[in-house]
Chains A and B, each alone.
Chain A
C-alpha cells in the first residue's frame, strides 16, 4: 500500500493543503517542517486517514470537529487498486468519496491495510526518536538478551521490562502470599468472614427455637394456675366484705319498718304532684290578668279609628299623578333645550347671509350649480390646480437641456471626423499568450537535457553493478529473471541449510567447549592424592591408643592433669581424622571422575553426531548452491550467494526503473525542443499579420467592412522578418518574443485611444436623442393637463373666468354654505317636535288637577304645571298614609278581641284541672292540697330509704336469697369477719406476685418466640454473601488472567526469537555494519551459561565480539534501528508493503551514520513507502548533499 497523496482539507491548522507522495521509484519522502509548521499534524493526519479520527481529536481548534476532513489517494500496487477518499470525523460511515458527500465502503481500505490496526501501524510501522532511545537502553540494560531485543524491535517497543513490571504489579494488587500488603482479595476474604459471623448471629437454630417454645408452655401453665387461685381468693374476700356491710344494713331495715306503720293510710302522691299543682295555680292567675288587659286595649283602638278621614278621589288618580310627577324633570329639560335650539337657529341664518355676501355677485341659481358639482369633480379640480406649476416647470427644463445636448453632439462629431483608426492587437496578443515565457521553455529544455544525462549515468552505473552480467543496458533491461517463487524457494532452502550449519557449528562449539572444560576437570580430578595406606592408619591408631594409655596413667594423680600429653593426643586424633577425610575425598573424587568420564563419552558421541549432521548439512548446502547457480546460469548470469543475488535483483529492478525513467526523460526533452520550435513559428506569423498599418476614416468603416479588413502598409519600426525557417537559437527566440511584446503594447495603446473617442461620440448622440424625447414628453404632458382642466371647469363655466389659482377659494365657500343650510333645516325640525311635547304635558296635568283639586286648579295660570303637580303629589301621599293607619288599627282590634276570648277559655280549663288534683288527693278544695302533699312526702321518704337498704343487701347477696343471706350474716361476729378478711387479703397478695412473675415469663418468652417469626434476616445475609462471592471470583479470575499473561509473554518472546532469529539477524547485521560505516562487520549470537542467547557485535578491527550491552549509547541506538528495519524487511518478504513512518529518529546519529541510515531507508523505499518527518535542517542538508537526487523526495512545510 502506498499513500500517494495526503490531502489536509480541514485538519489542524491546514485548509485545503496537499502533500504529494507519489514520486518513485525510490519512495523515500523526507517531510521537513520547522516547529509549528504542522509536522506532527501531518503525521496524525496520515493515521487518521487510514484508521479514522480518534475520539479525542486535538485538531479541531480552527475547523469544527464535525468539519474535520483529511483525504488522500491510496494505491495498492500488487493488485493495481486505487482508492481516493476523504475521511470525516464520526462514528459511522466516516469514509467519503472525493465529492465529500457519497459514503464509501471501508472494505477496500481494510483490504489494503491487511488487518493492520492503528495500534499496529503506529507501533510496528512507525519509528520515533523516543522509541529509538528506549530501544538502545533496552539493549544496554537487558544485557544483550537476544530474545527481548528481537521482540522489542519487531513490535516497536521501547521498554519490554515495563510490561512485565506492570503485569506483576497488577497481580500483586490482587493477591500475594504475604497478607501484610493487604491486596484486594484479602480485604474481600475478611468481608467474607464478617458476613459468616453475622450469619451465625442471625441464624435461628432448631434447638434454640424448641427450648424457648417449651419454656413458654411451662410459663403459660403457671400463669393460668395462678390466675385461677387468685380468682377464688378474691371471690372469698368479696363475700366476707359483703357480710361485714350487710350486718348493719339488716339492723337499719328493722328500724324503718317500725316508722312506716302509722303512715299506712296516707295517699302516696305521684312524685310531680306538688309541682303540677303550683303550675296550675300560676296559670290561672296569669290568664285572668290577660283578659282584663285586652278588653281595655279594644276600647282604645275603636276611638283612634273614628278620628281618621280619607279622600277616595285622590287615591283613585294616584297612579296618574305619580306618572306625571316622574316626568317633571324631563319637562323642565325640554324647556331648556327649546331655548338653546332657537338661539342656534338664529346664528346659522346669520352665517349663511354673511357667506352669501362674501361671494358678491353670486346668486342663488349659481349656488345651486356649485352644489350640483360632484365631489369627484371637485377633487379633480383641486388636483389639476396643484399639478399646474409642476407641468409648466418641466416644459421649461427639458427645453434648456435639449439646446445644450445639440451643441455637445455637434462638437464630438467634428472631432471623430478628423481621427484615424489603428489595426487590431489581438492576433499578436494571442500569439504571445500562447507561446508563454521563453525562459520557462528554455529552462525546461535545459533541465530535460540534464535529466537525460543524469539518468543515463545512473543506468550505466547500475549496469556496472550487475556483477556476473556482461550484456548491454538494453539486454539487462530486457532480461527475464527466473520465477520469483523458484528463486525464493531456492534462497529459503539455502538460508535454512546455512542456518542449520551455523546452528550445528554453534552447538559443536559449545559442546567442544564443555568437553574441554570437563576433560580438564577430569584430568584435574584424576591427579593422584597422597592417599594414606593401611599401615599408616594402623600406626596412627597405635600411637593414639598408646598416648591414651599414657594419659590415663599420667592422670592417676588427680591433682595434676597432664596438659602436654592431652595436647599430643588431640593432635594425633586430628591427624587420624585428616587421614579419614583424605580417604573420603578420594572416594568422592573417584565417583566424580567416573561420572564426568561418562559425560565425556556422551559429549564425544554428541560431537560425533553433530559432525555427521554438519557434514550432511554441508552436502545439502552444496546441492542447493549448485541448484541456485544453475538457475542463474540459464539467463547468463554468474550467480553469487543468496544475499548478493538479492541485492543483484534489487539493482536489476532499479536498473529497469532507471531505464524506463531515461526513456521518459528523452521523450520529455523532445517535447521541450518541439515546443520552442512551435513558439517561434507562432510569433513570426503573428508579427507578420499585426505589424501592418491600416487607416480608417470613421465615415468609411461602414462602407469597407464588408469588403476587406486590412490594408497593409510598411511599419517604420517593424524589424525585417525573413521568410526562411527561424533558427532555434535561445537568444533569437528571446529577442523575437521581446519585439513582439513591444509591438503588442503600442498597438494596444492606439486602439484604446480611438475606442475612447468613438465611445464619447456615441454617448453624445445618445444624449441628444434622449433630450429631444424628454422635451416632447413635457409638451405632451402640458397638453393633456389643459384638456383635463377645461373638462373639469365645464359645469361652472358660467361663474366667469376661473383660473387654477382662484378655484380653491370658490369651492371652499360653496361647500360651507351647503353645509350650513343643511344644519338649519335639521334644527327647525327638532324645535317643532320639542314644543309639541311640552304642550301635551301641560294638558295632562291640568286635567287631573281639575278632578282632584278643582279649586286649586282654577286658581293657577297656564304654564304653572310644575307647582300644580307638586301639590297633587303631596296631597296624594298624605291620603295614602291615613289609609295605611286605619287598616293597621282594624287588624289590631281584631287580634285583641280574639286573644281576650282565648284567655277566658284557658281560665276555665285550669280550674277543671285543679279539681282533678283535689280528687286525686281525696280533698274538696284547692287549699287542702298543700297538707296532703306534706304527709305523702314523709311516707315516701321512709319507703325510699328502706328500698335503698334492700337494694344494697341484694347487691351484697349477689343473687342469694335475702333471707338466707341474712341468716348467714347473722351467724358471724363482726370481729371474726375482719380477721378472716385480713387472712384472705394476705393470700391474694401472695398469689398476685406469683401471677405477675408467671406473666412476665410468658411475655418475655412470647416476645422471643415472636422474634422468631420467620424473618428473612439470615436469608438476606446469605444473599449478600452471594454478592461478595461474585466479587471474590472476579478478582481471582483477574489474578489468574494476569498470571497466565505473564507466562504467555515469556513464551511469545521465545517463540518469536525461534521463528525469526536467523533471517532478522542476518539482515540486521548488514544494516548495522552499514549504519556504523563498517566499524562493525555484523552481529553474532552466543549462548551464555544459562543457555540464553546473547547478542554480540563483531568489531571490524580485530573481529572480536563486543557484547551488545557494552556498546556505546549511539551504537546501541543504531543496533536497535538496524533490528527494527531488519524486522520490517523480513515482514516485507512475506507481506504486502505498508508505509513506514519515521519521526525524527536520526538526530542522535553523527552525520556519517545519519547518511548511512538514510541510504538504507532509501533502499528500503524501493519496496515500501518510507515517509520521514524531521524538523532538523541539517538532516535535509545531508540528504541533499550526500544522497543521489532520485534517492529521496523532499517536501517542505511552511511555518505558520
Chain B
C-alpha cells in the first residue's frame, strides 16, 4: 500500500466575523472580507493539490447560533468540490454547531462511497475506508455543553487499519475555552489508536510525548480575534505502511493577527515607540507571506511618558493607523492600541506621600487614583450612572462570550480609572495655560 494522506482541520467557524476591527480610511477592508470562507476555500484547494485521500474536521464547522443558510450552502459548494475529486470528508459536530439548524436540516452530499459526511451524535460512529486502510472513529456533540468524557465510548481499534480518533474536547482544560468533553491524554493513548485528531482549542498544539500516538489539536484555520495570533491552518498526515504518520502544518489563514508589544520604560519620547513599530511592521508583513495583518499594539512599562500615552491615546492610535496604511502597503490593519503603562509620576507621588514629602494638588489626583486602584469598594458609586447607559448597549457587546463588556469587570474599571488621570491632568494643565 502506498503512502496515504489525511488532512486534519478543526474549528472553522464558517462566516464568523473578525472581532474588534473598526473600519477606517485606508484599512484593507476587502482583504478581510469573508476571511473564514476564503480560509475554507484554501483548505479545499490544499486537499486537492496535495491529493489527500481523506479530510477530517474535528468539530465547530459553524459558529453557534448563526443560522444563516447561505453559510451552509457555501460549505455544500466547497464540499462538492472535494467530492468531485473523489476525496471523502468526515465531520463531527462540536459545541458550537451541535444544535445548529444548518447541520440538522441542510442536506449534505454523500461521500463517494455513499456514507454520510457527518458522524452520528447518539453514539460513537465509524467510517471505514477499506481501500485506504483507514478507520475513523468519532462522535458528534449531541448538545452544546457536553461535560461527560465522550472518549470513554470510543471502540477498540480495528486491526491492520490506521485508526484515527476524531474528537471535540478541551482535553484537561485550556484558558479561554469551555471545559467540554474533558479527558486526559493518557486515556486517549490507552485506546491504541494511531492518531487523535482533536478540535476545540484554537491554538495548534501537540499533547503527546515523543514516541507516543500523536494527539494533535490542529487549531482553527483563521484567527478571528487578537487572542488568536500567528499562523492558522491545518495538518496533513502522511501515513506509511506501518501505520506511522508524519504531520506537516499548512497555513490557510487569509488574515493574520499579530501583537506589537512595546515597553516604554526606556523611551525618550513618543516617537521612539512609533519608530519601533515602523521597523517591526515590514518584517512581520514579510513573515505573513502576503497576508494582511490585523495588529494590536500593547504598551507596557513605567515611564513619565505614560501620562502622555494615556492622554493622547486617540492621537497615537491615529498615528499608528496612518503608519499601518503608509508602511503596510494596504496589507496592515491597525486593530487597537492598549495602553497598560504605569505612570511613573504617580508612583513618585505616592512614594513621596508615603515618605511625607510631596502632596501638591496634582499629586493629590495621583494619590486618589492610586487609593481607588487599591480599594475597589469605592467604585460602586460610579456604576449607578453607567448602568443606565449599559442597559442601552447591544447585548452583542455586553454579553459577548469571547469578549464581554460588563460593568462588573474589575479590570475594565481599573483601566478607566487609569485613563481618568491624564484626562484630568490635561484639563488642569490646559486651564492653567489659559
Contacts and interface: CB of A to CB of B under 8 A. Distances in A.
A154 B360 contact: yes
A1131 B360 contact: yes
Contacts of A1034: 22
Interface string B247-283: 0000000000000000000001101000000000000
B74 A1016 contact: yes
A304 B186 CA distance: 126
Contacts of A115: 304, 344-345, 348
Interface stretch (A200-208, A269-277, A505-513): A200-208
Interface string B344-368: 1100100010001111111011011
Contacts of B72: 1014
A1027 B397 contact: no
A150 B359 CA distance: 12
Contact of A203 (B20, B68, B369, B389): B68
B432 A156 contact: yes
A1019 B394 contact: no
A131 B389 CA distance: 38
Given A209-B69, A1013-B73, A1134-B358, A1041 B394 contact: no
Contacts of B394: 189, 192, 1029, 1032
A1036 interface: yes
Interface string B56-77: 0000000000111111111111
Interface string B377-413: 0000110011011101110110000000100000011
Contacts of B368: 1048, 1051-1052, 1055
Nearest to B336: A1030
Given A163-B431, A1016-B33, A1016-B34, A1043 B20 contact: no
A1060 interface: yes
Contacts of B362: 120, 124, 155
A1026 B17 contact: yes
A157 interface: yes
Contact of A1043 (B17, B66, B361, B385): B385
Interface string B329-348: 00000001000000011001
A656 to B, nearest CB: 26
Interface in A1022-1058: 1022-1027, 1029-1034, 1036-1037, 1039-1045, 1047-1049, 1051-1053, 1055-1056
A1025 B33 CA distance: 13
Contacts of B389: 175, 185, 1036, 1039
Contact of A1018 (B33, B70, B356): B70
Contacts of A1018: 15, 68, 70-71
A206 B69 contact: yes
Contacts of A938: none
Interface string A992-1034: 0000000000000000000011111111101111110111111
Interface residues of A, number: 81
Contacts of A1024: 23
Contacts of A120: 360, 362
B17 A1022 contact: yes
A602 interface: no
A1018 B77 CA distance: 17
Contacts of A1060: 359
Interface in B126-160: none
A130 B102 CA distance: 71
Interface string B90-116: 000000000001100110000000000
A91 interface: yes
A119 interface: yes
A159 interface: yes
A92 interface: yes
Contact of B67 (A130, A205, A1045, A1134): A205
B39 interface: no
B432 A1026 contact: no
A154 B361 CA distance: 6
A155 B396 contact: no
B396 A1016 contact: no
B296 interface: no
A210 interface: yes
A333 to B, nearest CB: 81
A1049 B106 contact: no
A189 B385 contact: no
A1135 interface: yes
B397 A1032 contact: yes
Contacts of B420: 1041-1042, 1044-1045, 1048
A95 to B, nearest CB: 12
Contact of B364 (A1019, A1055, A1134): A1055
A167 interface: yes
Contacts of A175: 389
B285 interface: no
Contacts of B367: 1052, 1055
A1041 B420 CA distance: 5
B423 interface: yes
Interface string A114-150: 0101011011100000110000000000000000001
A924 to B, nearest CB: 81
A122 B393 contact: no
Q: Chain B interface mostly helix, strand, loop or mixed? A: helix
Nearest to A1049: B424
A1014 B369 contact: no
A28 interface: no
B70 A177 contact: no
B122 interface: no
B431 A162 contact: yes
Contact of B405 (A131, A157, A177, A1033): A1033
A973 interface: no
Contacts of A124: 360, 362
A1059 B359 contact: yes
A741 to B, nearest CB: 61
Nearest to B379: A1044
Given A1015-B70, A1027-B22, A1056-B361, A1048 B416 contact: no
A894 to B, nearest CB: 80
B427 interface: yes
Nearest to A205: B69
A44 to B, nearest CB: 13
Contact of A91 (B21, B102, B271, B431): B271
A1048 B18 contact: no
Nearest to B394: A192
A72 interface: no
A158 interface: yes
Contacts of B388: 177
A1026 B23 CA distance: 9
Nearest to B405: A1033
A166 interface: yes
A1043 B269 CA distance: 30
Interface of B: 15, 17-23, 32-34, 37, 66-77, 101-102, 105-106, 268-269, 271, 304, 336, 344-345, 348, 352, 356-362, 364-365, 367-369, 372, 381-382, 385-386, 388-390, 392-394, 396-397, 405, 412-413, 416-417, 419-421, 423-425, 427-429, 431-434
26 contacts: A131-B432, A155-B362, A163-B431, A185-B389, A189-B392, A192-B394, A204-B70, A206-B69, A206-B105, A1018-B15, A1018-B70, A1025-B17, A1029-B396, A1030-B336, A1032-B397, A1033-B397, A1036-B393, A1039-B386, A1040-B416, A1043-B386, A1044-B382, A1048-B369, A1052-B365, A1052-B367, A1055-B367, A1055-B368
Given A122-B432, A1014-B71, A1036-B390, 7 more contacts: A115-B304, A122-B433, A123-B429, A152-B361, A157-B432, A159-B434, A1013-B73
Interface of A: 91-92, 115, 117, 119-120, 122-124, 130-131, 150-152, 154-160, 162-163, 166-167, 175, 177, 185, 189, 192, 203-206, 208-210, 1012-1020, 1022-1027, 1029-1034, 1036-1037, 1039-1045, 1047-1049, 1051-1053, 1055-1056, 1059-1060, 1127, 1131, 1134-1135
